[in-house]
Structures are given as structure tokens and as C-alpha cells.
Amino acid sequence: MEKITGLINAPFTPFYPNGEVNLEPIPAYAAMLAKNGIKGVFINGSSGEGYMLTEEERMLLTEKWIESAPENFKVIVHVGSTCVKQSNKLAAHAQEAGAWGIGAMASPFPKAGRIEELVKYCEEIACGAPKLPFYFYHIPALSGVFLPMLPFLKAVDGRIPNFAGIKYTFESIYEYNQCRLYKNNKFDMLHGQDETILPSLAMGGAQGGIGGTTNYNGRELVGIIDAWNAGDIETAREKQNFSQEVINVIVNYRGNIVGGKRIMKLIGLDLGKNRTPFQNMSDEEEAAMKKELEAIGFFERCNKF
């Protein structure tokens, strides 16, 4: 299977003030991401509040992103849910609609407690779209499933024909690299933490990644990889440290899903508020966050339209 090179973005889902999904900003959103060096999107995941969307809304978003995708812009659809039958249906729809690939995080309820349970879950989803690469989205901080990934790869190897790899959003760079080295880099290990792109590059992996702060800081994150590839370690280090400064700001405002989504408004693309149970930012918090971002020179370096 083709392996992803470069950064894929996990976009936010736009909402109208009444809480309904707003498809209108997506063409401009996709064009902005591509302009800033992003290679595609991984929609309806955690940044996109996928578990708070209805099945119909997820399908409409899939169709709109595929319709709006610039040339050579990959659309990967997160189809995970607590109902494996629904996930299979969403996978089939993604394939029919023309998506590049699909992915699923482990169900947060019930939680898989053994490798075999997780493999079976992925197997039943992936077969819904047999022509598309399937990625397991490893994000135990949200799913609560802290199973080891190297034994998972060994168990899934040869069992799911369209299994492509893992979106690895966890703190263990050691485990990430061990998975990358499995059978001479057999599977596509997509780095999932924007704060540690550079150390993963230094270990010889991270040819591709999926990020959340790429929504508004993609130019700098892409720049880390470009500088590394050019042998300019000092520039790569400076850009990684700056990207950590951006993350240090958003963690004060309930993280990327809430604070990050409000940053999109500040750079010119208002995507609306978050759905319950997320606590939306107040106007006062927005003003305070803007000051913190100005203090680190963010608006001179962020994604541009």
C-alpha cells in the first residue's frame, strides 16, 4: 500500500450557531490547508467531535470533504463508534463516496481489554471498505484502551488484508519506533503528536503524520520536516520549540478541540462552537488566549489563507 508522506490534518467540524453542522466553510478550509503544505485530512475524529455527530452528519461531512478536496489531497474518514455495525456502514459509505482511506479508534465503551478483542473490532470495521487502507487510531488518552501496539501489529499482520498501519497518538516514542521497525517498516506508522515530530524524525521514522494543531500551525509543523530533510537541525529545533509554545497556550483553554477551534476564528475561519459536553470558551477567554498567542508571535507564523 502507498505510505503517507507529509502531514495530514484532523479538521474541526463547523457548526452553525444553532448547533447544526455547517458544510459551507469546508471548500475554503480544504484550500487553506493545502496552501499551507498539508497533504490531506482525517475527518470525523476526535478534533472533529466525531462521537457527537449523527451517522447522517458524518456521511454528509465525508461527501463534502471529498467534493472539496484539492488535487492529490487525501481524505481519510474516521469511522469508529461504539457500534461496530455502524462503523462498518460508515466504512462502506466512505469507500463508495471516494475516500482515500478509513480509520477507527478503539471504542471507548465497551473498552477492549485484550489484543484479540481489539483485532476483532478492527477486522469487522475494515471489511466494510476492503478497497481502502485501514488505519487503527491509537489514542488511549481518549479511548481508555492502553493495549501495547507491537503485539497488536503482530496479531493483525496477515489477518486484515487492508490494514495499513497506526495513527500513533501516545507518549512512548520508544514503542512508536519499535512498531515502525517491525518487519522492516512493513506498516505505515503515522506520528500523531505535534509536540514530538522532531525526535521521531531523529529516530528514523515519521515519514507521515496526522495532527490537530496543523489546523492553524501547519506551516511551522511542515517546516520542521522540511528543515530536517534539508539538514537544517537548528531551524527544525526552533520550529518544534515554537510549536510546543503554541500547545502550551491551548492547554490553558481546554486543549485543541476547544481552544484550537477558537483559534480558527482568530485566523479568519469561524467554525462555530463545540457540541455538548464540551465547555465552550467565553469571549473573555478568547481575548486572553489571543494575547498569549500574540506574545509568542503566533499570528505572524500561523496558517494563511
206 has pLDDT over 90 = no
Give percent helix, percent strand, percent coil of the chain, each to the nearest 5: 50, 15, 40
What's the mean per-residue pLDDT of the chain? 97
21 has pLDDT over 70 = yes
Q: What is the pLDDT of residue 292?
A: 98
Q: What is the mean pLDDT of residues 198-220?
A: 91
205 has pLDDT over 80 = no
The rounded Cα 192 to chain-centroid distance in angstroms is: 7
pLDDT digits (tens, 9 = 90+) for 46-91: 999 999 999 999 999 999 999 999 999 999 999 999 999 999 999 9
What is 6-233's CATH number?
A: 3.20.20.70
Q: What is the mean pLDDT of residues 22-37?
A: 98
207 has pLDDT over 90 = no
pLDDT digits (tens, 9 = 90+) for 84-128: 999 999 999 999 999 999 999 999 999 999 999 999 999 999 999
The rounded Cα 19 to chain-centroid distance in angstroms is: 23
pLDDT digits (tens, 9 = 90+) for 230-272: 999 999 999 999 999 999 999 999 999 999 999 999 999 999 9
Catalytic residue set: 137, 167
* Domain residue limits, the chain: 6-233
204 has pLDDT over 90 = no
Q: Are 212 and 250 in contact (CB under 8 A)?
A: no
The CA-CA-CA angle for residues 77, 83, 86, to 5°, reads: 50
- Name the nearest CA neighbour of 90 among 47, 127, 128, 50: 128
- Report the SS3 class of residue 165: strand
